[in-house]
Amino acid sequence: MEPEKHVFVVNPIAGGKTDPEDIRRQVEDLGVPFEIYVTKGPRDASGFVRRRAETGEKLRFYACGGDGTLKEVAQGAAGLETVSITCYAVGSGNDFVRVWGGKENFLDLAALVRAEDRVIDAISVNDQICINACHFGFDSMVADTMNSVRSKKIIGGKNSYTTGVIRGLISGMKTRAVVTADGEELCSDAFLLCSVCNGGYVGGGYRCAPYSRQDDGLLEVCLVRPVSRLKFLKLMGAYRDGRHLEDPRFRDLIIYRQSRRVEVRAGEGFAVSLDGEILKAPEIRIAVLPGAIRFAVPGQ
């Protein structure tokens, strides 16, 4: 789809600070019709994208920020045939674009403007949509911590994930819930973490779903049984590098499935991370949305 206009949705606090005027100056040099919208707070981007698309124009929305900004833009754009999205990767995480060659590929605005669309899946979680991953247990505690320390010196920024992991090691080694995937019960007691992925990476580069594809109509479900803190630390490197599905040390620790639907029954206050945004609900319903997003990928 050839866009009639390029719409830059700027999260002004992404990556510490994102300057809309700097983006404006760069885009003006490209000679394409464009507009810039600066978000006013959480979930503002989703509503703006949906309202802006009501004109019926062929639009490409650029999520100028990290995975959270991209999630909001994706939620507003999902299912709209006249809309494509991409990411100007100026956030502190930008995990989703790692499957498309990494953050550096999504920092060239000229290349992004020329990029071609690919039709990819998204994830529905209760009444919300995310594009990269939904995870709970240890990882949701990590994400919750990341959100609270992201703007702090030393423990925040690029160190936010490590700070979250440390907190998880102290108080997040076991979570209790019933987890089913396409009707199969994967867990009825305690687990360490469970990731349901469309993308391949979380937490600033942890390759939790190394076999994922974004256009196959399937979600990657990886549930890890409880382990001791010492064993967790010994296995963490392999998990980060995406070797956990082949490493024999994980053989009795991982339940892995490709599924279309995942359901979680837990208790009040149960926390789930959707591309870094925390959702709390006693029951979680997760489903793949095949072909819901047109995503522009540079250099493809």
User: Count of alpha carbons within 13 Å of 77, Cβ hemisphere only?
Assistant: 34
- pLDDT(279) > 80: yes
With b meaning 16 or more CB within 10 Å and e meaning fewer, what string describes 217-236? ebbbbbbbbbbeeeebeebe
- pLDDT(140) > 90: no
The full set of domains in the chain, from first to last, is 5-122+292-297 (3.40.50.10330), 133-290 (2.60.200.40)
pLDDT at 152: 76
- Pairwise pLDDT comparison (215 vs 173), residue with the higher score: 215
d(CA 28, CA 9): 16
pLDDT tens profile 205-263: 889 999 999 999 999 999 999 999 999 889 989 999 999 999 999 999 999 999 999 99
Mean pLDDT of the residues in the chain: 91
What percent of the chain is modeled with pLDDT above 70?
A: 97
